[in-house]
Structure 1
Amino acid sequence: MKKVVSVLLLALLAGCAKPSDGPTAGSIRSATLPRTNERIPVIELANAPGGMPAASTSLNDTSPGLAVLRGGYNAQKLRRGDVFDVTVLDTGEEGLFSSTQSKTLNLGRFTVDQSGSVTMPFVGKQRVIDSTPEGLQNRVVAGLKGSAVNPQAVVTVVDRPTSAVMLSGAVKSPGKVPLTARQERVLDVINQAGGPTVAPDAATVTVVRGSQRASAGLDRIMREDKQNIRLAPDDQVMVDGASASYTALGAFKSSGEFQFETGKLTLAQAVGRAGGLLDDRADARNVYIFRNQPVPVRTVGNVPSGVPGAVRPVIYHVNMKDASSIALMQMFQMQKGDVIYATNAPLVDSAKLLTVFQKSPPTAAAPLPGAAN
């Protein structure tokens, strides 16, 4: 009798420190943010926003994204490494062609050097980078004044070895993608490489142009035309893709991380993938979804209020004892990074505590042979 009373007293004294595999329902409902002590909201599943579509954070992203990289590729402009021919015509009777039977003269083939310049006979050194063939023709004619009576020039681009971008990451065929007069955009080069290897809402596209760098979600690029920018030679386009996953913890039959395709997994299916609740351990009235939810940027007047891309924790509560919750779980869409947690039933943690105190005390070791009494 005394032993039973002692165990009960110890159980009462240690009630706030009983063994458990995770937080209790009470501690979850009183959870606060570490720095601000702000209470994390706990929302009943029935009060969740309609359907909770599995949107990526880019749906609420008001950052400039790739739109900050303006310009793009102008196929008419000369760039470093471009090769062009220059042919001069003169209809006058005197001057540059007076000693020849021909009225045309090929000045040669020239390559734009790293400084963006070329040196041509009769014309001298010219900085030609970003010039169009038509603009360069006028400069050649101006340089021939005095050497020819009525000169005309034709500039023909014969090779553009630098007109390409480097595409890498989560695409089927990464590598160098040439640019043409069509002025390819981001989606053009990704499609030329066979498309992404992950779902659009799981991919982030980063474009590096010189010292500039910008990123945007692939789904946002597909949705917003201004994000599908025109690319320029030597741009680096990187597609970073990580498959969406959620984590099941606590009193599930199979806890762990599970991969899924965003927009195609409901909460009911997610619980099923984890094997369902443990019958002898879980508290079906207290199942929770932990989520970092994007904070929408509101506009007060014409001034945006809030931090673009900011998220805040939110907890959704599910009472799986309530039959209506099963219907709601079929509409609640899982999002990348969600954590589902099933608490232990109160009696389970109490039983663990009793088991700890009911363990027999260790017996003393036998005395060594010959030891004194």
Structure 2
Amino acid sequence: MQKIWAILISLLLVACARPSDGPSPGSFYDAKDPVTGKDIPVVRLSQANLSSIASVQPSYDPNEPGLSVFRTNGGNDIRLQRGDVIEVTIFDTGEEGLFSSANSKTLPLGRFTVDSSGNVVLPFVGKQRVLDSSAEALQSRIVGGLKGTAVNPQAVVTVVDRPGNGFTVGGSVHSPGRFPLSARNERVSDAIAMAGGALSSPANATVTLMRGSKKASVTLARVINEDRQNVYLLPDDQIFVQDRSPSFMVMGAFKSTGEFKFEPGQLTLAQAIGRAGGLLDDRADASQVYVLRNQTTFAPIVASSRKLVPTSTAVTTKPVIYRADMKDISNLAVMQQFQMANGDIIYAGNSGLVDFAKLFNVYQKSPNLPAASPPIAPGQ
């Protein structure tokens, strides 16, 4: 009798700590949201409303300013610095004055370099202090210096070279490095193009602009599609491009597990399972395949007056679990429509017989179980 009790107690202890490489099927239905403490809904794939599932969701709040916090007016914000090369041309529309005896009323003065003191010496107007001044401001000073000599003078100042000013582009681009900031007033998209372009698609590339102590990030797709994000660059701006390709995880009884990258809107659940090599025939329970997702929702904020607040959106996430029964042919059809989302986890549970075999194997190897008594010979 004591041996029987010892065996029962040992089996009970082994069962309480039965071997497993993941959650049991029943535990999915007991899962709680760690933030709210509420039950995480488990939705059968055959009952899921695919039209309400945003298969390709924006990874940002549409109200986020992004790079628009650095918005400037381009060349109007670029100040002259030491080493800059400018080209100066003056005009006179009057009948008498500086160009009264010339065939042309246009006079190119040539190119001039801002010296180490921040000055430039120009014909007719002499030395001018131009450090941290704009080209437009220098034009006005040239016109003022020509009054009395020309009847109706005008001037055009163009920055043709800025060897002392530039910007850097790094990260996931073909040719990272430092590039000169020219008079063309380069924007963010120009900078990335000068660096050979991003290594990933616009939707998967995140662009971070750093200016002094400030920085902001958006996707390259937003830079391309929204003019307010494609801001003009200033001297010493730093641009960093990062590959943010979405990915999903495969865990449990699959032939291949790990992290897989994909293009948004181009991968279904059926394709994802195929990429993982499919289920393990000798281990998986085909009726217990789960997709764990943090569903992102974008909803307009409702004011107290019950009216929608324009351009105001609330961004939230809530966990949801989808269950696919691959033994059901109708589920296989739905899996061809179910789009994968960034951060999804696909998990396949073990068959009950597999877990039982593991338990039995542990029982056989348990050192705490009493050894079997030798058979009793007849007549003893």
Matches for 1:276-291 after TM superposition, within 5 Å: 276-291=278-293
- Quote the offset at 1:69 in angstroms: 1.2
SS at structure 2 position matched to 1:264? coil
Instruction: State the distance in 2 between where 1:363 and 1:321 align.
Output: 39
What letter corresponds to residue 40 of structure 1 in structure 2? I
Counterpart in the other structure of 1:18: 18
SS at structure 2 position matched to 1:201? coil
Return 5+ residue gaps in structure 2 as ranges.
95-106, 303-307, 371-380
Instruction: State the distance in 2 between where 1:88 and 1:278 align.
Output: 81
Aligned counterpart in structure 1 of residue 132 of structure 2, from 115, 129, 132: 129
* Percent identity (aligned): 44
Instruction: State the distance in 1 between where 2:248 and 2:317 align.
Output: 17
Closer, same or farther in 2 for the Cα pair 1:299/1:42, shift >3 Å? same
The answer to whether 1:355 aligns with 2:361 is yes
Return 5+ residue gaps in structure 1 as ranges.
92-103, 365-373
> Are the aligned partners of 1:285 and 1:319 in contact in 2 as well (CA < 8 Å)?
yes
Counterpart in the other structure of 1:367: none
| Structure 1 range deviating more: 65-74 or 173-182 | 173-182
- Quote the offset at 1:166 in angstroms: 1.7
| Structure 1 range deviating more: 353-362 or 209-218 | 353-362
Aligned counterpart in structure 1 of residue 188 of structure 2, from 186, 189, 213: 186
Matches for 1:152-167 after TM superposition, within 5 Å: 156-157=157-158, 158-162=160-164, 164-167=166-169
Deviations 1:107-128 (A, max 9, x none): 99451668xx537597666355
Closer, same or farther in 2 for the Cα pair 1:6/1:342, shift >3 Å? farther
Closer, same or farther in 2 for the Cα pair 1:297/1:72, shift >3 Å? farther
The answer to whether 1:39 aligns with 2:39 is yes
Counterpart in the other structure of 2:71: 70
The answer to whether 1:332 aligns with 2:335 is no
Counterpart in the other structure of 1:111: 114
Counterpart in the other structure of 1:100: none
- Quote the offset at 1:9 in angstroms: 6.6
Instruction: State the distance in 2 between where 1:138 and 1:249 align.
Output: 69
Closer, same or farther in 2 for the Cα pair 1:284/1:5, shift >3 Å? farther
- Quote the offset at 1:317 in angstroms: 1.4
Q: How many residues align?
A: 347
Deviations 1:238-268 (A, max 9, x none): 1111443322111112222233333332211
Instruction: State the distance in 2 between where 1:260 and 1:108 align.
Output: 53
CA RMSD of aligned residues (A): 3.9
Closer, same or farther in 2 for the Cα pair 1:72/1:346, shift >3 Å? farther
Counterpart in the other structure of 1:302: 309
Closer, same or farther in 2 for the Cα pair 1:357/1:196, shift >3 Å? same
TM-score in terms of structure 2 length: 0.75
TM-score in terms of structure 1 length: 0.76
| Structure 1 range deviating more: 79-88 or 313-322 | 79-88
Counterpart in the other structure of 2:323: 317
